[in-house]
Amino acid sequence: MKFDYDLFVIGAGSGGVRASRVAAAHGAKVAVAEEFRVGGTCVIRGCVPKKLLVYGAHFAEDLADARRFGWDVPECAFNWKTLRDNVLAEVDRLEGAYGETLSNHNVEVIRERAVVTGPNQVRLAGGRTLTAKLILIATGATPVVPSFEGAEHGITSNEAFHLDRVPKRVVIAGAGYIANEFAGIFHQFGAHVTLVNRSDVILRGYDETIRDRLLTISIMKGIDYRFHVKFQRIEKREDGILLVHMEGCDTIEADCVMYAIGRTPNTADLGLDSAGVQLDDKGAVVVDADNKSTCDSIYAVGDVTNRVQLTPVAIREGQAFADTLFGDKPTRVDYENIPSAVFSHPPLAGVGMTEGQARNKLGSVRTYTSDFRPMKNVLAGRNERALYKLVVNAETDEVVGLHMIGPDAPEILQAAAIAIKAKLKKSDFDQVVALHPTMAEELVLMR
């Protein structure tokens, strides 16, 4: 049977773009359908614009610290619209660059919603039906919006980048990385932030001592936390003020409520049942180690599979898919020791097993910590302390986890993650001469 395309990709985010580009480079005839904007969550409404807001927020502390370093800094006013518009302009530039990359690799970009209508067939929103030998689902995930009276008055991270002004009082629902990152951003821009969560655990999955340190520092900065709290309803007054009624906590007045309670795979109304594609209980596409679904001609990569919701993982999966199916280079993604970071204030990062995970899995564990005040914080008169932690297999001396919180922690961890991936021992760390004076030298000085 002759198909219109060798590969039809639904979703032009990080995973879909990489898979399309590489498959086309291998000689495949490829089309990718995107109903919103090329670039996906990370580029358009996620990591990239978020990190630019984080940079902008850091200037609040940097300007204050500069005075202690001899700089005559006048009182500075922050203009949200200037930052917002510059960030959105950068997003526009990146979207153009992604589209150009696809065009340069002879990938046809179809700016319409596409749904699956069979194992080898898709239908576009405009009515056209197209066929493909293989279909790749790379539709990503979308923020969860809770269901209760007045929930429509809240926003998600998607809308946070388009606000007209920085709200004076923000309530953030959730305690994961998105919640903590935006708590830091809004706080530095002068908002009063209240973070509410159903449990008393923040950043589930990160090392307990590191996340406890972030909680302590955040509370010292003035961010409020309300734990063991459930939303009942949100009431919008005539003056626009939101009254947030909760179970387990007094009613809070807010100018903005933001939901950061997780992300759900974008599989609704995608027609996957028409091809016998199995979804799990969270709506994610079930795939095997080669990204194949329960339909032999349909594959999926990235957040829509709900394996590891990280941009670089989606890119690796897209590359592996294209190399395996079109490049005659069978490749599988290694999910062990994936580094991750939270761009909070201060940021934290980790790779490998937490202390708790190591004790459960290995039994015999040694930990090494360095709890110190970064040199810059000392002169700035800032009491904020950094914390680094090595988790070591006591029997083999292998460093199985590295976790840190403090200035530039994600930048430091990216290089250090190579050592964890390479299964280096604590003795290997000890043999490295310290690079002084740096914060990172603490990694090789723990005894």
Does the structure show a pLDDT above 90 at 435? yes
* Catalytic machinery residues: 436
Give dist(CA 103, CA 193) in Å, integer. Answer: 43
Q: What is the pTM of this model?
A: 0.95
Average pLDDT on 188-211 reads 95
- The whole-number pLDDT of residue 1 equals 78
Does the structure show a pLDDT above 90 at 165? yes
Give dist(CA 173, CA 158) in Å, integer. Answer: 14
354 band by pLDDT with thresholds 50, 70 and 90: very high
- The whole-number pLDDT of residue 41 equals 85
Least confident of 186-190, 241-245, 246-250, 281-285: 246-250
Handedness of CA 155, 159, 161, 167 (dihedral sign): negative
- The whole-number pLDDT of residue 43 equals 86
- The whole-number pLDDT of residue 229 equals 94
Does the structure show a pLDDT above 90 at 363? no
HSE at residue 430, side-chain half, CA atoms within 13 A, is: 10
* pLDDT tens, residue by residue, 78-101: 999 999 999 999 999 999 999 889
The overall average pLDDT reported for the chain is: 95
The amino acid at residue 40 is: G
Place of tokens 């388009």: 162
Q: Where are the alpha helices (DSSP H) in 69-195?
A: 80-104, 157-160, 177-188
- The whole-number pLDDT of residue 109 equals 94
- The whole-number pLDDT of residue 40 equals 87
Q: Are 297 and 134 in contact (CB under 8 A)?
A: yes
Q: Nearest to residue 258, comparing CAs of 190, 183, 343?
A: 183
As a dihedral over the C-alpha atoms of residue 417, residue 422, residue 426, residue 430, rounded to 10 degrees, the angle is -80
Read off the tokens for 134.
Answer: 């293989």
322 band by pLDDT with thresholds 50, 70 and 90: very high
- The whole-number pLDDT of residue 108 equals 93
- The whole-number pLDDT of residue 356 equals 95
